[in-house]
Amino acid sequence: MNMFVLFALALLPIIWLIIAMSVLKMPGYRACLIALVVTIALAMGVWHMSAINAATAALEGICNALWPIIIVILAALFTYNLTLETKAMDSIKAMLASVSTDKRILMLLIAFGFGNFMEGMAGFGTAVAIPAGILVGLGFDPLLSVVTCLIINSTPTAFGSVGVPTNTMANITGLHVVGISAKVALIQAVVQFIIPFIAVIVIGKGTKALKGLIPCILVADLSYIIPQYAVAQFIGPDLANIIGAIVSMVAIIVFAMKVKTPAIEEFQVETSGDGLKGLTLGSAFKAWSPFIFIFLFLLFTSTLVPAIHDPLASINSPIQFYTGKNPATLTFYWINTPGVLILLAGFIGGAIQGASFATMLNVLGRTVKSNIKTILTICSVLAVAKIMGYSGMTSSISAALVAMTGSMFPIISPLIGTIGGFVTGSGTSTTALFGAVQVETAKHIGANQYWLAAGNLMGAGLGKMICPQSIAIGTAAVGLSGAESKIMSKVVIWTVAFAVIGGIICIVFPMIGLV
């Protein structure tokens, strides 16, 4: 069969997802389940995959989705929901809002610093909904608050939910996870650097908002990028956002307290400072305790501490599911996996905050129940990805892309990820859909596989800026239902601009030896 006919047929599940979710407005879980059925039919009918091979490939994808991906997501969201239940999040919000009376500095602290922290901890819309809600509560324009948070949230996605998208890329492609995370941090560096400047311009309605604030922006920016890159380079994706955001928040707070920024009346906000009244070290620790324990557990069980990491990592079960040729081996780490560690931290933090065990179980149950559709979506997408990979559908897409673009394929690598992010609203799902395609294409054109894997991860975050569900989460958080199209029109220009920059980086960086 002709290469381009196979290419078109292999793309049908992805084309279906684009139509179903963008045009038909079909719920993601339903669209993905149908995509799975379409994929199985194509794999068996066109690529002659046997029924048992299709079933075991799907089973491998589902099991890979459940552990470690979905357990991380549920654990992170459980921890966040528990802080809402215990009212600890109210204390955290008040503490953040008490730092400055300058709207621009508060935006950097809340949307950039705390938003990136929430993306690293939980992801899945929390990094847009929570900061946007806090900003509106402080008197910020609701529409601009959502736009700003969407722009800021574009680059941390690759390391979101304790590194799930990047870890998923490693699981699907077989590439070393630290190698991927290092490239992601490097490829995103240019866009990441300019985002805080753009965010200030957006929230301040023009370049005049930069007046007198550039030193603060640079402090916020570099104190995030440098630690994030160091962690991504030497530890991996799990803590990259978290450590970068913590350092950035501390740096912004110290700067706001020690350096006087020229007061501009239109950028002042009335703050009572009540968030600091009666605040003690103990009460601050109580509010932040789940996040503190997550940070400590993930750090001390990482490869930086082999005395702890190695014994825990040895408690695992390597399993092969696929019954066809060259099956992958999935290794299930039963203790030293982020989901288990985050759950443990959540329960300890909840106990410190006064929640009973029954209350915590109730919150966990509600978290699982409210995310059943998300679980179905991710399981379906991972199953689709595995079937496409084992059947040869991914190779057919890759071969055609090589024939069409040749050595210039890297320039569209982030764009492919952007399309996936727009369709799925998830860095993880985008990775599952296109990660193998990117790496397979890299092999064909002799490019660095890590570089195109990173390009895909970068693009996934950019696509989330214009994803309907991301925008819907933001509008719901600030009470702007019906304003989705206005928000879309304000963020799409940045999505396009960043995707173009990403494509140029993917071509230029290897030429100068950075990738």
Distance CA 245, CA 48 (A): 49
Distance CA 330, CA 64 (A): 7
Instruction: Write the CA distances from 357 to 20, 88, 361, 449, integer angstroms.
Output: 42, 17, 6, 46
* Among 110-114, 164-168, 256-260, the least confident range: 256-260
Distance CA 95, CA 274 (A): 8
Give 341-388 as a 3 state SS string. HHHHHHHHHHHHCCCCHHHHHHHHHHHHHHCHHHHHHHHHHHHHHHHH
Predicted pLDDT at 229: 95
Report the share of the chain in percent with pLDDT over 90.
53
Query: In the predicted model, what is the mean pLDDT of residues 326-345?
Result: 90
Residue 262's pLDDT band, with cuts at 50, 70 and 90, is confident
C-beta separation of 212 from 69 below 8 A: no
Predicted pLDDT at 294: 87
Predicted pLDDT at 433: 81
Q: Is the pLDDT of residue 302 over 90?
A: no
- For residues 138, 143, 147, 153, the Cα torsion angle rounded to the nearest 10 degrees is 50
Q: Is the pLDDT of residue 199 over 60?
A: yes
**Among 8-17, 71-80, 181-190, 354-363, the range of highest mean pLDDT:** 354-363
In this predicted model, which residue has the larger pLDDT, 262 or 31?
31
Positive or negative, the Cα torsion across 432, 433, 435, 440? positive
Q: Is the pLDDT of residue 301 over 80?
A: yes
Mean pLDDT, rounded, of the chain: 89
Q: Is the pLDDT of residue 275 over 60?
A: no
Residue type, 18: I
Task: Select from 373, 494, 463, 375 the least CA-distant residue to 22.
Answer: 463
C-beta separation of 355 from 86 below 8 A: yes
* Among 134-138, 205-209, 443-447, the least confident range: 134-138
Residue 262 DSSP class: P
C-beta separation of 224 from 247 below 8 A: yes
Predicted pLDDT at 37: 97
Instruction: Write the CA distances from 109 to 149, 264, 403, 481, integer angstroms.
Output: 12, 18, 47, 26
**pTM, two decimal places:** 0.80
Predicted pLDDT at 501: 94
Q: Is the pLDDT of residue 271 over 60?
A: no
Q: Is the pLDDT of residue 272 over 60?
A: no
In this predicted model, which residue has the larger pLDDT, 395 or 149?
149
Q: Is the pLDDT of residue 274 over 60?
A: no
Task: Select from 403, 412, 405, 392 the least CA-distant residue to 6.
Answer: 392
In this predicted model, which residue has the larger pLDDT, 277 or 3?
3
Query: 444-458 b/e with 16+ CB inside 10 Å = b?
Result: ebebbbbbbbbbbbb
Query: In the predicted model, what is the mean pLDDT of residues 491-502?
Result: 93
Summarised one tens digit per residue, pLDDT across range 148-168 is 999 999 999 999 888 989 999
Predicted pLDDT at 277: 62
Q: Is the pLDDT of residue 216 over 80?
A: yes
Q: Is the pLDDT of residue 402 over 90?
A: no
Summarised one tens digit per residue, pLDDT across range 82-103 is 999 999 988 888 887 788 889 9
Summarised one tens digit per residue, pLDDT across range 438-493 is 999 999 888 889 999 999 999 999 998 988 778 877 887 787 877 878 888 899 89
* Among 5-9, 78-82, 474-478, the least confident range: 474-478
Query: In the predicted model, what is the mean pLDDT of residues 202-228?
Result: 95
Residue type, 409: F
